[in-house]
Amino acid sequence: MENHNERITRYMEDLHAAERGLMSILEGHLENKEAPSSIRQICSGVQAAAHGRMARLEIELDRRGHNPSSLKDMVNKAATKLSDLWNIGHDNTDKLTMDLIKAHAAAHLVHGSYHAFRAYSHSTGERIPAELAEEGARSSQESAESLLPAIQGVAGLVSGPAV
């Protein structure tokens, strides 16, 4: 059975891996020159926010004598790449829309995980992790919400004649 320090470390490792998965999804949008610049700009902002949250997690993990779990990061990144199979047969507009929906869902996974981390940290009296989780929850909610206009904008694009 985990003690509270081990559980806090696990929460941070899991969050780091989830943030890495979100960043992996967003990388495709940043590299996609067919994506509207406004969409790439939104994705760049969400990715920068995720990178900042990851850096804060790394600092706290280091303070506790731990490193992010490279295995968890790798598995989560691989899972996001496997989800590309959903896009088989989709045109570029549908693919971009589906990828933005996946990024939105991943941001909500991160957001919910920060809330669980915050609740657990508060229950143990751990002030620094609780503050980290509070900031992460706020930032990840902003990230998720910022993706909605992008989803709606891309889904509304007409890429060809209706059949």
The DSSP letter of residue 90 is -
pLDDT in tens, 85-98: 555 665 677 788 88
User: Which amino acid appears at position 91 of this protein?
Assistant: D
Euclidean distance between CA atoms 20 and 8, whole angstroms:
18
Cα 14 to chain center, whole Å?
11
Tokens representing 44 are 């760049």
pLDDT in tens, 37-61: 888 899 999 999 999 999 999 999 9
In degrees and rounded to multiples of 5, residue 161 shows phi and psi of -70, 145
Superfamily of domain 4-155: Ferritin, core subunit, four-helix bundle (1.20.1260.10)
Sketch the domain layout of the chain as residue ranges: 4-155
pTM for the structure as a whole: 0.84
